[in-house]
Amino acid sequence: MASKNIKGYAFEWFVRKVLNHCGFTSVIPDNKIVFKNGRNVMVHGLGQPHNTDVLVDPPIQIPFFFPSRLIIECKCKNVELGIEHGRNVFGLREDINGFDVVTPDILRDRANYRRRSPATYNFDRYHYQVALASTSGFKVTTQEFAAVHRIPLLQFKSAIFSPVVDLIYRLDDIPINRQDKEKLLDAFANGGNVALQAETCVSEVLEWAQQFSEECDTIAQRMDIGILDNGSILFLFKPYYADEDETRAFADGYSLHWSTRHNYWSLYENGVEKYCFELPIELLRIWANNYNVDRREAALHLKEGYMKNITIYTKSADGKVGINVLTLSSTFINNALQEYQQ
């Protein structure tokens, strides 16, 4: 039976691969604030250094603000994540953002109010945002805690991600010897080619690694990241039947429609489906709370209040990151209002 950590490493590797494809770059340890400890990438905190499952720089930085980095804590569980996981990532964020380097020399310099130069240690300071990713969803208490403390919850339990998530859970049923397990763990931790690293593994492990790599590549290559005005993250998946080049350019307006057949939302431009996506869990709760009152009003409220603009990060074949800011079509909103009022 595969131990839990190999499933966790596989999940982290997949999340990192998706983000890398969308323009996020993995942070290279500077061996000062960020360093490697075995297979783990560590970041110093005020109290202790912390292991980071996924540590990336965003495609762009926000003007007039300290540069930011994103830590994603990945949990591959069979049950919804409880509030303790939210508390853990909240503590992680506070501890890392509270860190600074203060030496006895710096303290002596600060005591001299006539000093002519700043008494600070020379290193790049970042604001760290911490998100929580799950293959099994989140309990209501976790959702509430994350909402008030502004912790993004990333849910990987939709049909879009199921080909990869199902393969990760299949590791429980594959007998893996110690040598093969170490090869997989090294590949996951180092971001290497899992199928290539597994070439000398037993046939069942090699077959799994090849299938896992292919499914991860298929999903990552058709994925872009969307950001709503309230900061919610959308994993935008391009349908398999859509033309690859059409996703990169949009008209001034777009429309959104709920698909009861697939249980996800679709983004259309000029009548052509560009992306499908699952609502972020914080918006799903808002929609569900209003859905029982009036289905059309709930959808309209969601679109106007939270999804009027979507900033989409795309990465071209040559590695360049592009940004599209999409605005919900005024014609679409007016038509929806007229339909609701009838």
Single out the residue in 181, 204, 220 at which a domain terminates.
Answer: 220
235/149 same-domain check: no
pLDDT at 139: 93
Q: Among candidates 294, 298, 293, 234, which has minimal Cα distance to 267?
A: 234
216/241 same-domain check: no
Name the least confident of 128-132, 311-315, 337-341.
337-341
- 3 state SS of 100: coil
165/311 same-domain check: no
Structural domain for 305, as ranges = 222-341
pLDDT digits (tens, 9 = 90+) for 264-298: 788 887 778 888 888 777 776 665 565 555 556 66
pLDDT at 246: 46
Give the confidence band of 169 by pLDDT, cuts at 50, 70, 90: very high
Single out the residue in 220, 245, 270 at which a domain terminates.
Answer: 220
Which CATH number fits the domain that encloses residue 214? 3.40.1350.10
109/191 same-domain check: yes
pLDDT digits (tens, 9 = 90+) for 184-205: 999 898 877 888 888 888 999 9
pLDDT digits (tens, 9 = 90+) for 203-243: 999 999 999 999 999 999 999 998 888 788 889 998 866 55
Q: How many folded domains does the chain comprise?
A: 2
Q: Among candidates 154, 216, 223, which has minimal Cα distance to 187?
A: 216
51/200 same-domain check: yes
- pLDDT, the chain, mean: 84
Strand locations in the chain (E)? 25-26, 34-37, 40-43, 50-52, 54-57, 68-75, 127-134, 153-155, 223-228, 233-237, 253-259, 264-269, 272-277, 309-315, 321-328
DSSP 160: T
Q: pTM for this structure?
A: 0.85
pLDDT at 1: 38
pLDDT digits (tens, 9 = 90+) for 36-73: 999 999 999 999 999 999 999 998 888 878 899 999 99
Burial readout 121-140 (b: 16 or more C-beta within 10 A, e: otherwise): eeeeebebbbbbbbbbbbbe
Q: Are 201 and 286 in contact (CB under 8 A)?
A: no
Res 329 pLDDT > 70: no
214/226 same-domain check: no
206/311 same-domain check: no
Give the confidence band of 263 by pLDDT, cuts at 50, 70, 90: low
67/201 same-domain check: yes
Q: How many C-beta atoms surround the C-beta of residue 13 within 10 A?
A: 24
Name the least confident of 11-20, 24-33, 99-108, 325-334.
325-334
Res 250 pLDDT > 60: no
Q: What is the mean pLDDT of residues 311-333?
A: 75
Single out the residue in 202, 220, 238 at which a domain terminates.
Answer: 220
187/263 same-domain check: no
201/80 same-domain check: yes
pLDDT at 319: 74
Give the confidence band of 336 by pLDDT, cuts at 50, 70, 90: very low
pLDDT at 101: 92
212/313 same-domain check: no
pLDDT at 302: 67
Q: What is the mean pLDDT of residues 89-118?
A: 92
Name the least confident of 14-23, 100-109, 186-195, 299-308.
299-308
111/196 same-domain check: yes
